Structure 1
Amino acid sequence: MLDTRKATIDDAGLITRHRKAMFADADSAPPAVLEEMGRNFEPWVLRMLASGKYAGFIIGDGNRDIASAGLLVLDWAPHFLDPAGEQRGYVLNVFVEPEYRRRGLAQALMSECMDEARRRGIRVVALHASKKGQPVYEKLGFTSSNEMLYIGDPAE
Structure 2
Amino acid sequence: MTQVAQQVIAVADLPDRGQPLAGGTFVTRYWLNGEERALVLLDDELTGVWGEYGLDVPGAKSYSDGEANTRAMAEAGSEVAVKALELGAHIPSHLEGALLMSAKADGLVTLREDRWHWLSTQYSAYYACHVGFEDGWLSFSAKGFERLVRPLRSLPIR
Q: Which has the higher helix share?
A: 1
Larger Rg: 1
Q: Same fold (TM over 0.5)?
A: no
